[in-house]
Amino acid sequence: MRCARRATDSADYSEGGRQTQEAGVSEERVPLSRPDISAADVAAVVRVLKSQRLSLGPKLAEFERAFARYAGTKHAVAVSSGTAALHLAVRAAGLGRGGEMITSPFTFVATANCALFEGARPAFVDIDEQTWNMDVEKMEGAITERTRLLMPVHIFGRPMPMDRVMDAARRRGLPVVEDACEALGATYKGRKAGTFGLASTFAFYPNKQMTTGEGGMVVTDDDRTAVLCRSMRNQGRDPGAGWLAHGRLGYNYRMSDINCALGLSQLGRLEGFLAARERAARRYLKKLADVEELVLPAPYGEGRISWFVFVVRLADRFAQRERDAVMAYLSSRGIGTNNYFSPVHLQKFYRAMFGYKPGDFPVTERIAARTLALPFHNRLTARDQDVVVEALKAAIARL
């Protein structure tokens, strides 16, 4: 079956969207994700290339100002990746060697790795059964004298209950760094995710709501945090210091003006992107509502989800091998899918470093063994989704 392409004035820069005619794979390919790059985006990048100001130029400051306005924060510091943003934010917050950072094991590995970069330890807390976010009650019980930082993760763009997180942090005198890398544009009780903690981080990889190719952002209302992050991203240089004068340990975490130009152009279309993803999520919810073998994303009544991915899970009566069989069937039909996420504590090197084992975080492990992400991006059409849903139902029927 071949889906009709949607008419658009945007250039078609698809990531992983090539058609294939391999044995057993249908001609139509529905990619798991794809960036939404327009002719205007391309033109913005070309203008920077022609300007010869490719790094530390005017587009960097322009993008940071525009992003801070959108986020509703005083400062925005553009960096080379979401991982770089996480690292700088926890370093600026004072997470040091021997300390612990409380976070979720159901996340992308960079969330936890940023603690390891500083010689600290991620202290994992199991997740909530319904939201798949870190369980706040368990988080409060996990705080000890070694805790130096709380890092809530707004998983898949669904905000944490930040009033409870911040209340616990204030009572214990702990800084909060929000991992909002998947939650650009999400809101909690009328306030944007990423505006509650000392600092917050966003990411712009091509599968995100908007992209800079590679890139990330630290946002904060704290002047000191902003100054430290700006210095550390640029090899530890202080404002006004010479090119070879380094005031502190730093890194090459700069975002080029090329990436910033793309980010500025994308930011201007972000609300349209979010609306398109919301429509696609609602279509999936409607089309899959009668599939009793699936658990769909839970309703959210406290603000707006920023739909990063659309993840479903098989009911508990199924096991990981059956989830994997569904994924294999979808792949054989040319439909992109993945397991979001594999528990961080069961990654090989975490088990070697800390002795984690199956059963340590049972809710995370049970849910992670059954989740699968369906194709999801700004340009996903209703007809694309019909192809996905038909294949998914066929796969489930084979179990």
User: Buried (b) or exposed (e) across 143-174, using 16+ Cβ within 10 A?
Assistant: beeebbbbbbbbbbbbbbbbeebbebbeeeeb
Q: Which one is catalytic: 192, 208, 348, 393?
A: 208
Strand pairing of 199-203 and 303-304? unpaired
Angle at 107 between CA 101 and CA 113, to 5 degrees: 45
- Sheet containing strand 371-374, edge to edge, reads 294-295, 310-314, 371-374
CA atoms within 13 A on the CB side of 209: 28
Cα Rg of the chain, angstroms: 21
Q: Is 208 a residue of the active site?
A: yes
The full DSSP string for 10-79 is: S----SS------TT--S--B-S------HHHHHHHHHHHHHT--SSSHHHHHHHHHHHHHHT-SEEEEE
Angle at 330 between CA 325 and CA 335, to 5 degrees: 155
User: Catalytic positions, please?
Assistant: 208
